[in-house]
Amino acid sequence: MSSEAGAIKLFFREAIARAVREEMAADARVIVLGQDVGAFGGAYKEFHGLYDQFGASRVRDTPVAEAAMVGLGVGAAAAGYRPIVSITYMDFLMLGLDPLVNYAAKARFKTGGQVTAPVVVKTTAGAKGQGVAHSQCLEAWLMGVAGLVVVAPSNAADAYGLMKSALRHDGPVVFVDHKRLFPTAGEVPLAQTFTPIGQAVIRRPGEHVTIATHGYMVRVAGEAADRLAKAGVSCEIVDLRTLAPLDVATVAGSVARTRALVTLEEGQLACGVGAEVAFRVQEQVGAVRIARVGALPAPVSSNPVLEAAAIPDAARVMDAVRRVLDA
């Protein structure tokens, strides 16, 4: 594999492991808690090598007990450590929401700044054949919790850069990755870099329509844009990267030029990322043509036919783009 100068090609999972490794080496207060994160190296090998390098005291396998896992991570964070807690699937994060939402997200506020809880909860969203309780994208739920930062990288470079930033942030961060991203590879800078929290990026410049999306759906948007380009339709893709706080300015800047917005997410549309993005963009740029693309209002089956039916694909994004452009 050839790489750009000053960059190295890494799998998404390797990019996460590198970020955590660098931060653990730089700061003894960074520790890892989670199911199968130790010698096993994580469900997606995203913690590979950390146990060997840093030992069982800093890379800790836990029982299946999400409430206590998150609670211990939050408590250790409030006591001065910088834990990363791995929740294998986002569907299980709800078992650990109490310490995250009721304690970590409020610690700084309720103590008048005496206590902060710099914990990173890393969790994996998205459908990949594992059924109704292992496929959900629930990140929109978290966007309404004051005090929480929510990031969702779409490629290896941002998986690395956002994990680095998350581990340096002085409050709780939920790091949402995606099952289908782990086998993908991308260029990651050789030098230590930090993807800023709260900054979206224009992934593909275009003229006719803005597609605002995040995570794995950035790749789906890219596929749709490639195909639409052959028909003379030019799509601008904004990768949100951080969902809370949302970088409305970058999306609004794009929409101010294209005057057409398609939001794309794998999760549910009701009270979803797209609803929030679309409303806030229009608060800045006035009424524009809008379409939202998301999952069907139904559970996501492990049945491959039903899974594909439930979640967005390039064809649905293309339909939505045509719909707004024809409007």
Which residues form the interface with another protein (CB under 8 A)? 31, 57, 60, 62-63, 65, 67-68, 70-81, 83, 98-99, 102-103, 108-115, 146-147, 149, 171, 245
Q: CB-based contacts of 276: which residues, under 8 Å, 6+ apart? A: 140, 143, 246
Name the minimum Å distance from CB 150 to another protein: 11
Catalytic residue among 134, 178, 214, 266: 134
Query: Quick one: 32 or 127, whose CB is closer to another protein?
Result: 32
Name the minimum Å distance from CB 58 to another protein: 8
Task: Tell me the three state secondary structure of residue 118.
Answer: coil
Q: What's CA 257's distance to the chain center, in Å? A: 26
Decide if 118 contacts 141 (C-beta within 8 A): no
Going 186 to 189 to 192 to 196, the CA torsion angle's sign is negative
Q: Which two tokens stand for residue 39?
A: 């010698």
Task: Tell me the three state secondary structure of residue 127.
Answer: coil
Position of tokens 């990651």? 188
Name the minimum Å distance from CB 95 to another protein: 9
Query: Is 134 labeled as catalytic in the residue annotation?
Result: yes
Decide if 278 contacts 225 (C-beta within 8 A): no
Query: Quick one: 73 or 126, whose CB is closer to another protein?
Result: 73
Q: Count CB neighbours of 44 within 10 A.
A: 20
Name the minimum Å distance from CB 18 to another protein: 24
Query: Is 66 labeled as catalytic in the residue annotation?
Result: yes
Query: Quick one: 29 or 128, whose CB is closer to another protein?
Result: 29
Tell me how far apart the terminal alpha carbons of the chain are, to the nearest angstrom. Answer: 44
**Cis peptide, bond prior to residue 99, ω within 30 of zero:** no
Name the minimum Å distance from CB 305 to another protein: 37
The H or E element that residue 81 is part of is: none
Query: Quick one: 90 or 117, whose CB is closer to another protein?
Result: 117
Catalytic residue among 14, 23, 46, 66: 66
Query: Quick one: 199 or 234, whose CB is closer to another protein?
Result: 199
Name the minimum Å distance from CB 102 to another protein: 5
Determine phi and psi for 94, rounding to 5 degrees.
-65, -25
Query: Quick one: 24 or 291, whose CB is closer to another protein?
Result: 24
Please state, in angstroms and as integers, the Cα–Cα distance from residue 208 to each residue in 147, 218, 264, 293, following that order. Answer: 36, 18, 16, 17
Query: Which amino acids are annotated catalytic?
Result: 66, 134
